[in-house]
Amino acid sequence: MNNKRTKIGVFTCAHLIINIIIILCFITTSSLLGYQIGATYLEIVIIFIGGLVTITQLGNKRILNSYLKCIIPIILFTVIEFIYYPINGLLWIRMVLLLCVSIGICIYADSRHVNIFKQFYYIVLIYTVLNLVVYSAVALFHLNLPYQVFQNDWLHAHNNYFYLLYDHAGLSGQIFGPFMVSRNEGIFTEPGVFAVLLDLELLIYYFTDFKKQKWHLIIILVALLSTISTTGLGLAILIIGFEALVNNKIRDRFSKVTIFLIGFTTAFVVIVWLLDQKLTHATASFDWRFYDWISGIELFIKKPLLGWGYRNHFIFEQLMLNRYGLARGNTNSISSVLYQLGIMGSMIYIVPILCVNKMLKKQNRIQKRRFFFTVICIVLIVMSEPIIDSALLILILGYVYSKQILINQAHL
């Protein structure tokens, strides 16, 4: 991740631009606030601002040449998508535009010495603090705060508290014996989305070198607990355990093994308990996720090269309806990419990761291990939530592409 440092207290126009883009990406990532405002309009704003800053960076011939080398294969795949799936090709344009400007945004941030991950970290941290205040008042202390009811055509009604918490009264988890506490969804469509974004926050907390406070970690973990998300909590425990094992500050092998065993035992107990709760009260959720994976792979095998077309949910829904009697879309982003884009389209995600991994051979072992672990975590995240083509995940992908272009300045 970007480790460039800026002077403390300096806030430039570049910081403002990057912060605006990150905030827009955050609230368009499967969030109810994004749907309420209009996610499409917000993404148009991202493309417009991102396009302007991208243009400012392409005056450098070296950067322009490297940029074109990155996006030409993407454009070629877009042409193929149009030829075989014209309607899906139009939808794919949105993905391509967001990716192209995301690369430019990350190059711009690097040129202005703005650490994108630092800006993301503090934006999410500030939101999380405010969210926990409102969540505690509503879910724990049951205060009668003012709210607005929000409902669209495919989700249950939610109580919108100050645009910081969308509370679905029917969504609760049994914890601490007889006590029932509503799960914290944040501004998102479900608690799992909020949880995995907090996992990204945890990765930044451990894997970047800008200064953080210990209370930041407490806020992140408390928010994760409030989501009662099996995936989110399981990933958090893995991240903490991994950092304990590779951190140079813990040099004693016995200490590392002890921390690993304690972490593994804790993770096992927590995850088994959560699985028991969900298997007891919500077995359908597990069945659906299993079917998502199996059905997606089955469709991929039938058309492995080009897939069935970007965002072709109809073919998946038909298979689910005919095979399992379920009328639903796919929530597994990995199997979705495979069956929709095939091997050729999947390379858009895989190639830059392989290139950065090759670059990291020159870095120390801890950096390489952290990058590999981060990739694994993101794969697990998008397997559990359908957010791989969200503006935020595309921005992260754009960052990886930008490291190819700025190979001599790559410090992940």
pLDDT, tens digit only, all 412 positions of the chain: 544 444 445 789 999 999 999 999 999 999 999 999 999 999 999 999 999 999 999 988 889 999 999 999 999 999 999 999 998 888 999 999 999 999 999 999 999 999 999 999 999 999 999 999 999 999 888 899 999 999 877 778 899 999 999 998 655 555 545 556 788 999 999 899 999 999 999 999 999 989 899 999 999 999 998 998 888 988 998 898 888 777 765 555 555 566 566 666 666 666 665 556 555 555 556 566 777 888 899 999 999 999 999 999 899 888 888 887 776 777 788 999 999 999 999 999 999 888 887 777 666 677 788 888 999 999 999 988 889 999 999 999 999 999 888 874 444 3
Within 8 A by CB and 6+ apart from 376, the residues are: none
Q: Answer yes or no: is 3 within a domain.
A: no
Q: Answer yes or no: is 73 within a domain.
A: yes
CB 305 within 8 A of CB 313: no
Task: Look at the chain and report how many structural domains it folds into.
Answer: 1
Q: pTM of the full predicted structure?
A: 0.88
Q: Answer yes or no: is 4 within a domain.
A: no
Dist. CA 219–CA 212, nearest whole Å: 12
Domain that holds residue 203: 13-409
CB 332 within 8 A of CB 386: yes
DSSP state of 308: S
Dist. CA 207–CA 203, nearest whole Å: 6
Q: Answer yes or no: is 238 within a domain.
A: yes
Helix axes 39-57 and 86-111, enclosed angle (nearest 10): 50
DSSP state of 160: E
Q: Answer yes or no: is 8 within a domain.
A: no
Dist. CA 307–CA 342, nearest whole Å: 4
Q: Answer yes or no: is 297 within a domain.
A: yes
Q: Answer yes or no: is 139 within a domain.
A: yes
Q: Answer yes or no: is 368 within a domain.
A: yes
What is the SS3 assignment for 181?
A: strand
Dist. CA 168–CA 359, nearest whole Å: 45
